[in-house]
Structure 1
């Protein structure tokens, strides 16, 4: 049996499996029509709505979708390379010329 929510996955969903599982749990834990303050699922008979599985399912749906972007366009950033080059000038260069490597001579063995 195909459930109606399984046919239309929104474009903003980034984790399809998590979203499908969360929508299944949310569909199973709806409020009672005669008592909207209680969960209709038999596992949550004494729980108030939204029950813990329904809350977890809503959080999982939010985690499975891409957040909406508030700003559009490119961010303007000051040129950090020029500022860093001036600030850290000479830090990674030797201040004195490096001495040439000396060749190690073998030690004479005592007889």
Structure 2
């Protein structure tokens, strides 16, 4: 028997196992049809809806999805001012003495 929610894994899901577990728990902890403010699951008898497992499943579902990007478009980068920080740090990472190529490491002879 397959559950219908198991076929609807979206492309934004990054942790499929966590998402499947969260959807299974959320499907099991639905509001009671006659008392919508109570959980219908027998393990949560008398608890208000959303019960702790339903809240945890909702948080796990959010954690299993890729975070949404809030910014759209491209960032604007301004050119550094002449004589600014770039001029102060120019040449800091140049070698102070000439770099000599390191001799290639020769393998040690193996003992017979």
**TM-score when normalising by structure 1:** 0.71
**1:15 paired residue number:** 15
Runs (5+) with no aligned partner, structure 1: 99-111
2:91 and 2:71 mapped to 1: Cα distance?
Answer: 39
1:8 and 1:76 mapped to 2: Cα distance?
Answer: 38
Map 1:30-109 to 2 at 5 A: 30-79=30-79, 83-88=84-89
Distance of aligned partners of 1:85 and 1:41 in 2 relative to their CA distance in 1, 3 Å threshold:
same
Deviates more, 1:32-41 or 1:4-13: 4-13
Q: In angstroms, what is the RMSD of aligned CA positions?
A: 2.5
1:67 and 1:42 mapped to 2: Cα distance?
Answer: 34
Aligned length: 95
> Deviation at 1:32?
0.1
SS at match of 2:63: helix
